[in-house]
């Protein structure tokens, strides 16, 4: 059984996508054992409650420094015996200590085709605004392993989504979430739960 800890900051639609795929049997041998948010008002915490999943609010600003914040996260996810940490709409940076301890066991969903429209400040609606400003015809979403720099780790899965005439940042974000994010994040978890990923430097191979 793959024990998953999910980190959230907002609405939790990516968390919901994972829970739905577990419920409908698409994601076998996986269980979300805890949800952690940096934002006590995140609706994602309500989704955890509705699914009887233990949750916690652990926010960087509650700690003297990143090292203490790291220690709190490590303590929490170790206590829940998590095999995999999933950043699902999580908007804060996590520390190097945590990343090193959970090397290649932390994944993130980003709402663009990395390396486009990513890095510090590119979160939520911003990647979609930038994609429209640039005039790209295709955008999408990326699941990648987490490394200390924002959105910098080896790419696991990507899915492209067409930009349509008359798109607003909001309509584009909705399509990327529905057609890409909510598909490739659970799929990446499924591959990991079946030991189907091999990381070779920066290259992630699906076995
Ligand atoms: C999504 O666009 C996700 O890609 C980004 O945050 C947004 C909200 O995600 N990281 P969620 O609804 O909280 O899962």
Kindly state if the Cβ of 109 falls inside 6 Å of ligand 1: yes
Atom of ligand 1 nearest to the CA of 8: 13
User: Rounded to whole angstroms, how far apart are CA atoms 76 and 81?
Assistant: 9
Domain assignments of the chain as residue spans, ordered by start: 1-102, 111-140+156-207
Q: Is the CB of 186 under 6 A from ligand 1?
A: no
What average pLDDT does range 44-66 have in this prediction? 97
Q: If pLDDT is split at 50, 70 and 90, which confidence band does 149 have?
A: confident
Quick one: pLDDT at residue 151?
A: 87
**Per-residue pLDDT, 31:** 98
The whole-number average pLDDT for the span 15-34 is 98
Encode pLDDT of 41-51 as tens digits.
999 999 999 99
- Closest C-alpha residue for ligand 1 atom 5: 89
The tens digit of pLDDT for each residue in 85-119 reads: 999 999 988 899 999 999 999 999 999 999 999 99
Does residue 153 register a pLDDT over 90?
yes
Q: Is the CB of 10 under 6 A from ligand 1?
A: yes
Burial class (CB in 10 A: 0-12, 13-18, 19+), 23: exposed
Which CATH homologous superfamily contains domain 111-140+156-207?
Formyl transferase, N-terminal domain (3.40.50.170)
* Amino acid 89: pLDDT: 95
Tell me, what's the pLDDT at 150? 83
CA of 12 to the centre of ligand 1 (A): 7
What atom in ligand 1 is closest to the CA of residue 14?
14
Query: Mean pLDDT score of the chain, rounded to an integer?
Result: 97
Decide yes or no: CATH 3.30.70.660 for domain 1-102: no
**Residue 30: per-residue pLDDT:** 98
Residue 14 Cβ < 6 Å to ligand 1: yes
Kindly report the number of other CB atoms within 10 A of residue 19's CB atom. 21
Average pLDDT for residues 155-174, to the nearest whole number? Answer: 98
- Is the pLDDT score of 192 beyond 90? yes
The domains spanning 1-102 and 111-140+156-207 adopt the same CATH topology: yes
* Cα gap 175→61, rounded to integer Å: 33
Q: Where are the alpha helices (DSSP H) in the chain?
A: 13-23, 43-50, 66-79, 96-101, 126-134, 169-176, 182-193
Contact yes or no for 90/82 (Cβ under 8 A) = no
Give the pTM.
0.97
């Amino acid at each position: 059984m793959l024990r998953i800890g999910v980190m959230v900051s907002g609405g939790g639609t990516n968390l919901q996508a994972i829970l739905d795929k577990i419920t409908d049997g698409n994601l076998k041998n996986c269980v979300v054992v805890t949800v952690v948010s940096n934002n006590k008002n995140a609706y994602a915490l309500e989704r955890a409650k509705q699914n009887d999943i233990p949750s916690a609010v652990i926010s960087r600003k509650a700690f003297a420094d990143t090292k203490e914040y790291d220690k709190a996260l490590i303590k929490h996810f170790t206590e829940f015996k998590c095999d995999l940490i999933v950043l699902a709409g999580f908007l804060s940076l996590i520390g190097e200590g945590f990343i090193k301890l959970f090397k290649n066991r932390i994944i993130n969903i980003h709402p663009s085709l990395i390396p486009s429209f990513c890095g510090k400040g590119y979160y939520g609606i911003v990647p979609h605004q930038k994609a429209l400003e640039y005039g790209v015809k295709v955008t999408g979403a990326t699941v990648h392993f987490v490394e200390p720099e924002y959105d910098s780790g080896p790419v696991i899965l990507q899915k492209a989504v067409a930009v349509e005439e008359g798109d607003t940042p909001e309509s584009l974000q909705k399509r990327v979430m529905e057609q890409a994010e909510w598909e490739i994040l659970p799929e990446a978890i499924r591959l990991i739960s079946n030991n189907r990923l091999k990381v070779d430097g920066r290259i992630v191979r699906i076995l």
